Amino acid sequence: MDATDLPPGLDGNLVEFVKGGCEFEWQSYTKTRFYTNAFVINGNKLLLGFKKRGFGANLYNGFGGKVEPGETSAQAAARELKEESGIDAPLEHAGVLIFLTEGTDWAFHIDVFSAHSHTGVPTETDEMRPEWFSLTEDSLNGNDDRLGISSSSDLPSIPYSKMWADDIYWLPHLVEGKKFRGRADMVKDGDQFIMRKFWFGAVC
Ligand SMILES: Nc1nc2c([nH]c(=O)n2[C@H]2C[C@H](O)[C@@H](COP(=O)(O)OP(=O)(O)OP(=O)(O)O)O2)c(=O)[nH]1
């Protein structure tokens, strides 16, 4: 795809897999702040954390936060995973998410990581409560959550309705081991953020 067709902030050889909000302009921004987000898979299980406080509180998410000065994003991802869940994992880079919220002139650049093994036992911290979720096909693609039915495994289905709205578009790609890039511009709707404009694609 021609770089000029991509949302600002994304580049590379990308193939679109979903977009929305074509009637809106991309929000402009002047600064970028770097964050991480890590997802640990164990066979047919995905580890998410229920965020107890701060930005994104009461949502389930991977484990992550700000990249500190002097750290690479990979180092920050490993540190945040350990701090927030108590485990270590051989994280690999899986994708990049550019994320904006209404009324700010800076963008989150989120390096997303995944791992297929870990050491240690996921443990609740002040910030996150780790829980395992089912990776059956209907759980992963959101059918279970949409229909309000429980997963066919012993574990709960991925709780997309209690996650950031963009996650359903790229999390299945991450679990399948496909690299992705995307951008989501969010606006406030009551006490929630909803997507105004978004684009996601696979890395060729
Ligand atoms: N899955 C997902 N995660 C997102 C989205 N937007 C977004 O900021 N995040 C993640 C990136 C970070 O992991 C987290 C925001 O960081 P944070 O609020 O926990 O970081 P913090 O400032 O508390 O930093 P720290 O104290 O943990 O270092 O939320 C999104 O649309 N989907």
Point out which residues pair with 14 in neighbouring strands: 203
Residue given tokens 């229909």 in the structure block: 147
Please write the tens of the pLDDT for every residue from 141-164: 999 999 988 877 889 999 999 999
* pLDDT score, position 4: 59
How far is the C-alpha of 174 from the C-alpha of 170, rounded, in Å? 6
Distance between Cα 23 and ligand 1 center (Å) = 27
What's the average model confidence in pLDDT over 20-38?
97
* pLDDT score, position 97: 98
The per-residue pLDDT of the chain, averaged, comes to 95
Give this complex's ipTM: 0.94
Atom 13 (ligand 1) nearest CA: 64
The response to whether residue 55 sits with its C-beta less than 6 Å from ligand 1 reads: yes
Atom 4 (ligand 1) nearest CA: 164
* Residues counted in the chain: 204
Distance between Cα 152 and ligand 1 center (Å) = 30
> What pTM was estimated for this model as a whole?
0.96
Q: Mind listing the domains of the chain with CATH numbers? A: 31-203 (3.90.79.10)
Residue 79 φ then ψ, to 5°:
-65, -45
* pLDDT score, position 74: 98
Distance between Cα 192 and ligand 1 center (Å) = 15
Atom 2 (ligand 1) nearest CA: 164
* pLDDT score, position 1: 57
Please write the tens of the pLDDT for every residue from 163-203: 999 999 999 999 999 999 999 999 999 989 999 999 999 99
* pLDDT score, position 39: 98
Report the amino acid identity of residue 6: L
Please write the tens of the pLDDT for every residue from 86-138: 999 999 999 999 999 999 999 999 999 999 999 999 999 999 999 999 999 99
Using the 8-state DSSP alphabet, how is residue 56 labeled? T
Cβ–Cβ < 8 Å for 157, 145? yes
The response to whether residue 148 sits with its C-beta less than 6 Å from ligand 1 reads: no
How far is the C-alpha of 115 from the C-alpha of 43, rounded, in Å? 11
* pLDDT score, position 3: 58
Number of H helices, E strands in the chain: 4, 9
* pLDDT score, position 5: 82
Atom 27 (ligand 1) nearest CA: 65
What's the average model confidence in pLDDT over 25-40?
98
